[in-house]
Amino acid sequence: MVLAATTLSNAALGYGFWVVVTATAPAAQVGETTTVVSLMAAAALVADGGASTTAVQYMATATRQGERARFQRHLCSIVAAAAVLTSGGGLTIIGWMAGWRADLRTIVFAAVVTAAVTALALGRLADSMATADRNGGLVLRRNLWFATVKLILVGTLLIHENVMAVIVGSWAFASVSTTTVFLSRQLGGKRTIEGASSEVADSLPVSVLVRRTHHRRASRGQPGSPGHSAVRPTQLRKRKSSNSQSARVTSLPTLRASLVHHLGNIAGELPMYLLPVVVQQRSGATEAGAYFITSMVAVSFFTVSSSLSTSLFAELSHDPGRQSELIRRSTRVLAPTLTMVIVAVAVIGDNVLEFFGTAITDDAPLLLLILAFSAIPDAVTNLAVARWRAMGDGSRSAILSVFMGGGAVVLAWYLVPALGILGAGCAWLAAQLGGAVAVAVVQLRDRSADRDRHSRCSE
């Protein structure tokens, strides 16, 4: 639940951020700026390269300090390099959409966007590494710092007229400062089972601790005992050769799994950032701003299911045997929570949107209700994807995410000219419903296959 608290607090401070923006800037400028922010977030997502998901899976079982440190530094280097490349692509799209405005073609703007994208991507990775270590408090503190600094800086809009510069600059400074402080601590921290700090011991599965403790006790035996047998040089060379071969073999599935996770992450999250861009291209900047603000309010609807699915993925990576128990527990939390969300939106949704003033259009309340209903099938697909990934079936979750994400963007492209921001909401809801139906079909097929196997075995 710490992850849920993180997202909720981040969303609350985010509401404050955009309330200040919409109260001080024209609706058209709000729409342009939200599109730039969406593209920055999309570039950070692409730069992640599946590293966040890979970090959760690998660090759930890696316990040696040297292994973990090398793994973390390696991932950070890859993500940082990828972020520089993806920010270039994002800048190209921003310039094309803005008609290559002079203020968006400066070296300063390019540097600020690149720094922001890099920090956002590394921040995602830092949160995943903390989640793998079951350190939700660190995730909460990092996100609170980011949202608070961003909110303080955006207050300069009251004295500065350049909306784009203030918002992008505050986003960049907040992300760079937060990531620098927290990621440096994570990379510099010592987490090793053999040297044994209590923090590490608490974060590891009991089975791992038992195996490590047994190994240490055995290695302390007297010469001639099973735990302290003599090793000949030839045997040592064979072991080194065997270890190097196994390392080469296991690196291939790890790379493949990382690419699959990357595809699944992009397809699952990218539509949230692309839909405001689609709305601006098909309906204008004012509509894009209204859609972005409304969908930002709706983020809280998806908070509980996304947080629970992340926790479920991490816990199943630690202990796959608790699959049924953890899924039932997640379902018991989600059912009443989503029911209350839909009722609350129906009752007070209009009042919440009024805080954002002229940036909100007449269709926004209905869009908010559509997004609230979409949280139900979204929860179904989130839990299914977390389970499949933890069980090593990342390709299945990637296929589902690709079809859902692609379907949402394509449908929105055709529906927005006729329905406005409601078209984007309907496209999102249709994609989530299609994904939930696909999950149900796969589950029924798997259960049928299990029954057939059991019947054949009994015969």
Contact in structure between 273 and 39 (CB atoms under 8 Å): yes
Please indicate whether residue 50 or residue 355 has the higher confidence score (pLDDT).
355
Residue ranges covered by each domain of the chain: 1-209, 284-451
List pLDDT tens digits, range 268-297.
788 888 898 899 888 888 888 889 888 888
* pLDDT at residue 6 is higher than 60: yes
List own/partner pairs for 339-345 with CB under 8 A and 24 or more apart. 341/300, 341/301, 341/372, 341/375, 342/369, 342/372, 342/373, 342/375, 345/301, 345/369, 345/372
**Which CA distances in Å does 436 have to 285, 372, 380, 384?**
32, 15, 6, 9
pLDDT in tens, 132-150: 777 777 788 888 888 888 8
pTM above 0.75, yes or no: no
Least confident of 236-250, 335-349, 354-368: 236-250
Mean pLDDT of the chain: 75
Task: Work out the percent of the chain whose per-residue pLDDT is above 90.
Answer: 12
Q: Of the spans 84-98, 103-117, 432-446, which averages the highest pLDDT?
A: 432-446
User: Would you say 322 and 304 are in contact if contact means Cβ atoms under 8 Å apart?
Assistant: no
| HEC readout, 60-104 | CCCCCHHHHHHHHHHHHHHHHHHHHHHHHHHHHHHHHHCCCCHHH
- CA-nearest of 308, 310, 313, 302 to 329 is 308
